[in-house]
Each structure stands twice: as structure tokens, then as C-alpha cells.
Amino acid sequence: MENLALIDSFSEFKDDKSIDRPTLMAILEDVFRNALKKKYGSDDNFDIIINPDKGDMEIWQRRVIVADDDLDLDHLEITLTDARKIEPDFEIGEEVSEEVKLIDLGRRAILALRQNLISKIHEHDNTNLYKQFKDLIGDIYTGEVHHVRPRVVILVDDEGNEIILPKEKQIPSDFFRKGDNVRGIIESVELKGNKPQIIMSRTSEKFLEKLFEQEIPEVFDGLIMVKNVVRIPGEKAKVAVDSYDDRIDPVGACVGMKGSRIHGIVRELGNENIDVINYTTNIQLYITRALSPAKVSSIKINEETKRAEVFLKLEEVSKAIGRGGHNIKLAGQLTGYELDVIREGTVAADDDVELTEFSDEIEAWVIEEFAKIGLDTAKSILSQDVNDLVRRTDLEEETILEVVRILKEEFEE
């Protein structure tokens, strides 16, 4: 059978493990039936026989024998004279089956068939790939860096599937080279045309939760539950855990001896600082734990507005707020309450001075920078090491030294 390049296309895919034989045969038949409909208007009187082992196929056309002068539809009927060229004893009214040679369809039609076949098989593969990765959304997946671009990293898995890790889904400290193995979660799968676009994320809270499942056996086995996760990627995270078994210390099990268990997770996340706390339905206790390492004196909760006033001693304020305000921000997200820090007690005017009272000498944005790390009075700043202030704020050393000079002059007077 002269079938030119078409069966070569068939041979390209017949041993491909990504597509089973019945599906491939169905695609082949569909492609040919569409071609027949296009050429003859109908495929009802055609039989297609596919031999997947040989990579071959046959097409047979069935036509009814009519008298030579009664021929009306030549694709459904055949004259008695032409029929007897096939079998000399044929009679009018009988049905004749005759093989259709692919070469008879014309070279252009065959090339179109080949392209259609390849397109249909790729479409099938893309559909299967889309379904496969849809089921993997929220799971950890590993890919190898194939190409690094300014706004995206292209990964490939062991099967050659392309996975996209956008810049905004990368931890700020992430740095990748070609060939590196990268872990993240499959965050979404979208069809762009007929091709699935697989998006990975390393900044999602779900990634941290899944790392706990993967790295901590008690979480994987369901003995410890991760109740909530909040994070500022690459900076700080808080994870609330619980256990139904009173004999298990969920925090101790997750952290491990001297942090041995959580160390691998911290390293994976670019040394992200992870606070693991015991979950509780007692909201006052929950907020207290969430603000660790600060020691809370008391809490006043407003259930209606979901706000809480947290009273702290002066030396605990900076701990509660944390570097860049990260600690209090995450504590609020974890508990679902907006937290207002209130310094406990009153301070005599001659003992300390609110930083805002120096607004005529110190610019507002500088005061704001100190407030972000919980330093809102003169003495709270003067008690700090200058180098430490440079590290904890976005202020230049020269600016900090000027602020210290202004504050010292106030107390010297």
C-alpha cells in the first residue's frame, strides 16, 4: 500500500508509552474519517482497518451496483460495468467493497492528513498532561533548571515537561544555575491555547506546610496537624501545630533536638526564620504564643472588630514588633486579629520622651523607621547599639548618629 509519509508518522507514535494503542487507533481513524468526509461528503460507506503492529492501514469503500445509465452518486454507487471489472459475476443491487489507495487522495491531502495526525496526538498528550498536573496542584514537585531568565526560571522534570517558576514566586534570596534541582509546589495549571502552562511557587504558605509533611514523620502520619501557616517569604514564618494525642509535644516534634528536624526546612527556604507554636482555641493564649519571643503582660480583646490591645513592658515592645514589623504582622495574620501594641504603665516625662516630640528636628520618615522595630521613645533608642540599629533599620549610620546626638542633648539639658 502506497501511503507515503503518513504511516511514518504513525510509526513515530505507535511505540510511545505516553499514548496507548486503542487511543492511537481511535485518533488515526478519526483523522481519516474527517479526511473522507471532506473529500466525499460522508464517511458512512467507508470501513477503516488499522494494523497497529505493522504501522499500516486499509480503507475500503462500499458502493451499491446500479445500471450504467442510473449512476447518480458515484461515491455511494458504482455502475454494473465497473463492478464486473472487480468481479465478473456481480449483479445490480449488490454491494461492492473496493480498497481506496491513499495515493488516490492526492499528495496535498496526504500531507494534510499527516499534519492533522501529529496535531491530534499532541493535543491528546497536552490534555493528559493538563489532567496529570491538575491533580498535582498543592503538591511538592521537583524540576531541573533548564533556562534562567530575568523574570522567570524554566524548569523541566524527568519526563521533559516544562514548568515555570516566575520571579514573584521565588524566595528573594533564591539564586539558580542551569542544572540545579528546585523544589516548590505546583500552584496552578492553565491552558494557553492547547498547551498547558504549569506554574510552580516557592513563596506559597502551602509549600511550607507540605515541607512539614515531607520532613516531619508525625505530620506525614497525621499524628500532628498543621493548623495554620503564615509567612513573609525568605524572612519569617509562623506555623501553628496541634496534636490529638496529649503524649505528643507537637512543637518539640516539629523542631527536633536543637532544631535538627526543622533545619532542613529553614535551609530550603533561604534561612527563613520559622516560629512553631502550639495551636489553641483560647484566643488570648493564642495571641500570646503568636507574639513570641515577646512576653505579653495582658490582652484586651474586641470580638466584634477582631482587634486586640496587647499590653507589654517597654523592653518587650521591640521583640513583639520584630525586625521590620514582621513579628506582629505575622502574629496578626496567624490569629486573625489586628494587634495594637500598648506600652504598659506610664513613664514620667522627665524619665523618657516620645520620639514624635522631636519631629521638629527629626524627619517623620526616620521616626517611622524606628517605630517599625518598636522603638518609639528617646531612651528606647539610646539603649540600643548603633551598629545593631544600622542592621535592623533601613537608615544610614550617619542618620542614626545624628538622631542619637539630638536625643542625648535633650537629656543632658
Closest CA to 117 of 107, 109, 129, 127: 109
Confirm if 56 and 69 have CB atoms less than 8 A apart: no
What H or E segment, with its residue span, contains residue 380? helix 378-382
Instruction: Please count the CA atoms within 13 angstroms of the CA of 180 that sit on its side-chain side.
Output: 11
Confirm if 92 and 67 have CB atoms less than 8 A apart: yes
Same domain, residue pair 152 and 216 = no
Domain edge (last residue) among 131, 153, 176: 131
The number of residues in the chain equals 413
Same domain, residue pair 166 and 91 = no
Q: Which domain holds residue 250?
A: 210-279
**Is there a domain that residue 308 lies in?**
no
Confirm if 376 and 370 have CB atoms less than 8 A apart: yes
Nearest 10 degrees: Cα torsion 21, 126, 18, 54:
40
pLDDT at residue number 276: 96
**Is there a domain that residue 60 lies in?**
yes
Same domain, residue pair 99 and 14 = yes
pLDDT at residue number 153: 96
Confirm if 256 and 212 have CB atoms less than 8 A apart: no
**Is there a domain that residue 298 lies in?**
no
Q: What share of the chain is helix, strand, coil (3-state, %, to 5)?
A: 40, 25, 30
**Is there a domain that residue 342 lies in?**
no
Same domain, residue pair 108 and 25 = yes
Same domain, residue pair 152 and 183 = yes
Domain edge (last residue) among 176, 201, 226: 201
pLDDT at residue number 315: 79
**Integer angstrom CA distances of residue 120 from 33, 53, 115, 161, 198:** 13, 20, 9, 18, 21
**Is there a domain that residue 162 lies in?**
yes
What H or E segment, with its residue span, contains residue 283? helix 283-290
Same domain, residue pair 12 and 109 = yes
Confirm if 233 and 271 have CB atoms less than 8 A apart: no
Pairing of strands 95-100, 77-79: unpaired
What's the structural domain count of the chain? 4
pLDDT at residue number 306: 92
In angstroms, the CA 171 to CA 201 distance is 9
pLDDT at residue number 55: 56
**Is there a domain that residue 284 lies in?**
no
pLDDT at residue number 56: 65
**Is there a domain that residue 109 lies in?**
yes
In angstroms, the CA 220 to CA 391 distance is 38
Residues 6+ apart with CB under 8 A from 382: 404, 407, 408, 411
Residue 173: which CATH number? 2.40.50.140
Which amino acid type is present at position 139? D
Q: What is the mean pLDDT of each run of 10 residues along the chain (413 residues)?
A: 47 53 70 76 79 69 84 78 84 83 66 69 71 90 94 91 94 94 94 83 96 93 95 95 90 90 93 94 95 91 91 84 87 93 61 72 86 85 87 89 86 62
In angstroms, the CA 195 to CA 126 distance is 6
Domain edge (last residue) among 279, 310, 340: 279
pLDDT at residue number 5: 44
Same domain, residue pair 106 and 60 = yes
Same domain, residue pair 273 and 160 = no
Confirm if 154 and 146 have CB atoms less than 8 A apart: yes
**Is there a domain that residue 263 lies in?**
yes
pLDDT at residue number 179: 93
The three grid cell numbers given for residue 275, joined into one nine-digit string: 516560629
What H or E segment, with its residue span, contains residue 298? strand 298-302
Number of Cβ within 10 Å of residue 372's Cβ equals 18
What is the three-class DSSP state of 18? coil
Instruction: Please say whether the dihedral angle defined by the alpha carbons of residues 124, 129, 132 and 135, taken in this order, is positive or negative.
Output: negative
The owner of cell 524527568 is: 158
Residue 42: which CATH number? 3.30.1480
